Amino acid sequence: MRHPLIKGQCHNALAWLYYEQQQNLDEAVELARTAVELDPEAPDARHTLATLLISSGNWAEAQIEATAFLQLGEPDWLETGWEDLLRFFLEAVRHNRATESVRLLEDTKSTERLRPLYVALKTLAEGPDQLTQVAPEVRQPAQALIKQFNEWLAAMESDAAASSPQSPRGGVD
């Protein structure tokens, strides 16, 4: 029998692959839930589940899992998984949860260690005045994150438009 932690990592990896490919998302959620059950202390499993949940619009449950991965994630996990971490917050922004994401970072006391992300989310939630209230060493990375979020969102919209079915005449039925 395989060790439960390795089995959990396999479930998590497959769930993340499904998420990245935007395929079998219901199965991906179940795989991620199993990964969390097998290793509840794994921040990457919690992160995958949270990202899948918010991508399907389930903020309430996603927030619980996000709280867990933010609290469990050591600084090295946050660094090595930075792009993946951003995907959770991108999904939150895409589902109009920037304000709730700001609160999540505040509630988990993550605002200092994730300061540029916090400022970027606060700016997206409350407006550009937020950027004038921080030092340049925080403002510049926050602006870069906002730009990255906007590019990702535009790409997601473009992909969604390209994959949506059209009538044979190219118009709306």
Could you give the CA distance from residue 131 to residue 115 in angstroms, rounded to a whole number? 12
| pLDDT tens digits along 96-124 | 999 999 999 999 999 999 999 999 999 99
| pLDDT tens digits along 11-64 | 999 999 999 999 999 999 999 999 999 999 999 999 999 999 999 999 999 999
The reported pTM is: 0.86
Could you give the CA distance from residue 30 to residue 12 in angstroms, rounded to a whole number? 10
| pLDDT tens digits along 123-169 | 999 999 999 999 999 999 999 999 999 999 999 888 777 876 654 44
Give the count of beta carbons closer than 10 Å to the beta carbon of residue 60.
Answer: 8
Could you give the CA distance from residue 15 to residue 28 in angstroms, rounded to a whole number? 4
Residues 6+ apart with CB under 8 A from 75: 113
Nearest to 148 by CA among 123, 173, 130: 123
Nearest to 102 by CA among 132, 84, 124: 124
Position 1 pLDDT exceeds 50 = no
